[in-house]
Amino acid sequence: MSLVVRTLSDRVFEIVREQIVTGQLADNAPIRQDALAAELGISKIPLREALARLEQDGLIVSHANRGYFVQPLSAEQLDEIFELRLSIEPAAAAHAALAATDAERSAAIDAFERLDSAAGINLAEVAVRNREFHIALTNSPDRPLTMQLVQRLSIMAERYVVAHLEPAGRETRAHQEHRGLLDAFLARDAAKLQALLAQHIRSTLDDLNGEPGAIQGKGVDVRQAQISK
């Protein structure tokens, strides 16, 4: 029974997460638990488990006596997430490149190939594969705290990654940059990897900050369609 509940919870988490990441659930939109449970044909138990995970990942927020709402994108959060990534991720990747085992190097290649295969499917899928690739580049079992921080920041960055990739041509540029990151990782060129990854993260932040029609004037365009009631 617990396995069934856990599986349902995972599926609900994926469905609601995708609706948030792609903008089907708008900023500040209420999560209507009764309607969502009925739509998915599930009980409240796996739904509540999924919502707790979504809140932990920073995608929704709970308000006393009001329920859950989609955590709004904001220029301030954008800057904070990406500045934290810049302070942690490039150095973590440089360390991982030097310490990587054959298995970890193979995992990075596999993550890149999954990301490459996801191109053109949908942006939510690309965002997940992008996260997995970045995590693979920083995977260092001897630095578990760093890995946890990278994973948490990557999850929180996903909606911004989707917004970044929406304009035409961005996926192609991102693919080229990811190829360069992988090549530096496999070559164990820590200095080059650190510089390329810092540039990659910074250019994404600069793109988002420079786009018109923004969150508080800072460029993330989120579609406002809400989940069907």
The pLDDT tens digits for 6-17 are 578 888 888 888
Write down the pLDDT at residue 167. Answer: 64
User: What is the tens place of the pLDDT at every residue in 22-80?
Assistant: 778 888 999 988 888 888 888 888 899 999 999 988 889 999 888 999 998 888 989 99
Q: Are residues 131 and 157 in the same domain?
A: yes
Q: Are residues 80 and 61 in the same domain?
A: no
Q: Are residues 39 and 123 in the same domain?
A: no
Asked whether residue 96 is domain-assigned, the answer is yes
| Residue of 112, 85, 120, 95 lying closest to 204 (CA atoms) | 85
Asked whether residue 226 is domain-assigned, the answer is no
Q: Are residues 110 and 162 in the same domain?
A: yes
Write down the pLDDT at residue 168. Answer: 55
Q: Are residues 82 and 191 in the same domain?
A: yes
Question: Where does the pLDDT of residue 111 fall: very low under 50, low under 70, confident under 90, or very high at 90 and above?
Answer: very high
Q: Are residues 30 and 105 in the same domain?
A: no
Asked whether residue 133 is domain-assigned, the answer is yes
Tokens at residue 88, please?
A: 């942690």
Q: Taking 70 as the threshold, does the pLDDT of residue 170 lie above it? A: yes
∠ CA 87-158-192, nearest 5°, is: 40
Q: Residue 61 belongs to what domain range?
A: 2-70
**Domain termination site, one of 12, 39, 70:** 70
> How many beta carbons lie within 10 A of that of residue 155, not counting itself?
19
Pair type for strands 67-70 and 60-63 = antiparallel
User: What is the Rg, in whole angstroms, of the alpha carbon atoms belonging to the chain?
Assistant: 18
Q: What percent of the chain has pLDDT over 90?
A: 47
Asked whether residue 227 is domain-assigned, the answer is no
Asked whether residue 225 is domain-assigned, the answer is no
How many independent structural domains does the chain possess? 2
Sequence-distant contacts of 175-181: CB under 8 A, at least 24 apart: 175/116, 175/119, 177/203, 178/112, 178/115, 178/130, 178/133, 179/112, 181/93, 181/137
Q: Are residues 41 and 79 in the same domain?
A: no
126: CATH: 1.20.120.530
Question: Where does the pLDDT of residue 211 fall: very low under 50, low under 70, confident under 90, or very high at 90 and above?
Answer: low
Most confident of 46-50, 161-165, 207-211: 46-50
Q: Do residues 157 and 173 touch, judged by C-beta distance below 8 A?
A: no
Rounded mean pLDDT, 89-96? 98
